[in-house]
Structure 1
């Protein structure tokens, strides 16, 4: 498998990412990497084809170093959703399914019906507090939905939040007044909001892999 870790979504010629200090117990939150998101006819065009490879690489790195990993699954309450319980799309993508339970560190499964992983079951904040975790890394699907909401709430709750943008992806979306934005535009907007708004620091997969040891 070829490596795409250095190819973060970018505009123009970005500066080299700042060095990231990674805590020994920094938790990786893997948000909604489920088979239902592969149904392009439902979601529309996506961005960042390297996201899945980068997500897999970060899970591997966290598991190899014994850091905690949280797998989050969205159990949609919408009858026609590809993520609804009892439908095949609710399952994790195969590369995530294979990696569950393979690490030497703590692991947690959180299920949710809303955007934020902090409003899931079991209580993610309580689990972090018990383990003394104050730094979190949020990856997965969708960049501007559950990833962004989880990162925003994490920042509001006082965690140090890191978001490697190239380990996320989203889909084109239409909104009010006939406005339409591509997945790439939405991902950039999330990055600017999170980083510029002080909710999280937007980093790269390569930068995290370089310090995850």
Structure 2
């Protein structure tokens, strides 16, 4: 795996509100936060760009809405912001894709000739996946660090349910098999970025 010197790490929605199990339900991948922290550290140590994405939910009952403690980044992310040697960007959004946030992520990446992004964060099958899909559609080479994401059990039409692990596997198959992204482990990205 070749990681460019200017490849950007896009850290999606690692916010306190996702700790509210009563709202979201059971989650998977308890090691995700550790892996996200390691990716941020590796990217910052190498001087590569890091993008921190925050979801400002418009839903009145969401733990992620503006003005609520759940809107804040998790502590380990907040304490890393501003600590890297490379460029850094804060994107806020109210939809699933970081490419539809403020400021314009695509314009920021393109300004510096960035053609590779690595995606990590929450939720695997929602904002992380949507950001990866759009990145692929926009022509970026996308690496999706599956073990640096997590999600929650889900309910769909007709009472269908899928567990968080099943949803994560479906995301991995869709992204990788569909050509949107290369699904990888965080250690592979860390080693390649070293």
TM-score by length of 2: 0.99
Q: Where in structure 2 are there 5+ consecutive unaligned residues? A: none
Determine which of 108, 130, 143 is the counterpart of 1:127. 108
Determine whether 1:82 maps to 2:68: no
Equivalent residue number for residue 35 of structure 1? 16
Counterpart among 155, 170, 175 of residue 194 in structure 1 = 175
The aligned residue for residue 160 of structure 1 is 141
Q: Distance in 1 between matches of 2:116 and 2:176?
A: 16
Hey, which bits of structure 1, 4+ residues long, moved more than 6 A? none
Say yes or no: does 1:104 pair with 2:85. Answer: yes
**2:25 aligned residue (44, 49, 73):** 44
SS of match in other structure, 1:158 = coil
Q: 1:56 aligns with which of 30, 34, 37?
A: 37
Q: How much is the aligned-residue C-alpha RMSD, in angstroms?
A: 0.4
> What do the CA deviations read for 1:37-72 (whole angstroms, capped 9, x no partner)?
000000000000000000000000000000000000
Which string of whole-angstrom CA distances, capped at 9 and with x for unpartnered residues, describes residues 77-107 of structure 1?
A: 0000000000000000000000000001000
Matched, 1:72 2:53: yes
Query: 2:158 corresponds to which residue?
Result: 177
Secondary structure of the equivalent of 2:79? Answer: helix
Equivalenced residues, count: 194
**In 1, Cα distance between the equivalents of 2:165 and 2:178?**
19
The reply on whether 1:21 has 2:6 as its aligned counterpart is no
Tell me the residue number matched to 1:149.
130
